[in-house]
């Protein structure tokens, strides 16, 4: 019983630092914008590809809810930059919690950000 309690306390301690998904310290100033479809009515464009970014967090996510949208948009913009796209459209950001982990009391949350990278026709 002592060993189980020790293991549980160690897992809680180590997993606590992974509670908030963050991007690396890249500057977001030069990243492509996320645009609404209404903004694109006058500009012709072609789709570069679909972007899907997932991140799994093994801990309680008490502080994530306010920053989930920010994380998702920044992740989409970063991937669009890597694809040499001019913008991102149709962003979808979500989270899904599942209790499938070593013990059922440890929540695992999967964060997903999806969108479409586009390039403007010149």
pLDDT of 8 above 80: no
Q: What is the mean pLDDT of residues 41-70?
A: 78
Q: Which of 67, 68, 47, 65 is nearest to 115 (CA)?
A: 47
Domain ranges of the chain: 2-120
Q: Which of 9, 85, 95 is nearest to 55 (CA)?
A: 95
Q: What is the mean pLDDT of residues 70-74?
A: 90
Q: Best-predicted range by mean pLDDT among 57-61, 69-73, 100-104?
A: 69-73
CATH classification code of 2-120: 3.30.110.70
């Amino acid at each position: 019983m002592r060993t189980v309690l020790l293991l549980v306390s160690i897992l809680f301690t180590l997993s606590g630092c992974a509670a908030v998904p963050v991007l690396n310290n890249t500057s977001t100033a030069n990243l492509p914008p996320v645009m609404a479809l209404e903004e694109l009515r006058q500009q012709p464009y072609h789709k570069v590809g679909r972007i899907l970014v997932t991140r799994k967090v093994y801990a309680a996510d008490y502080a994530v809810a306010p920053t989930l949208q920010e994380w998702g948009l920044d992740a989409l913009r970063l991937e669009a930059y890597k694809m040499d796209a001019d913008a991102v459209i149709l962003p979808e950001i979500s989270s899904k919690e599942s209790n499938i982990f070593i013990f059922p009391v440890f929540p695992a949350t999967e964060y997903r950000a999806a969108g479409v990278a586009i390039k403007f026709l010149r």
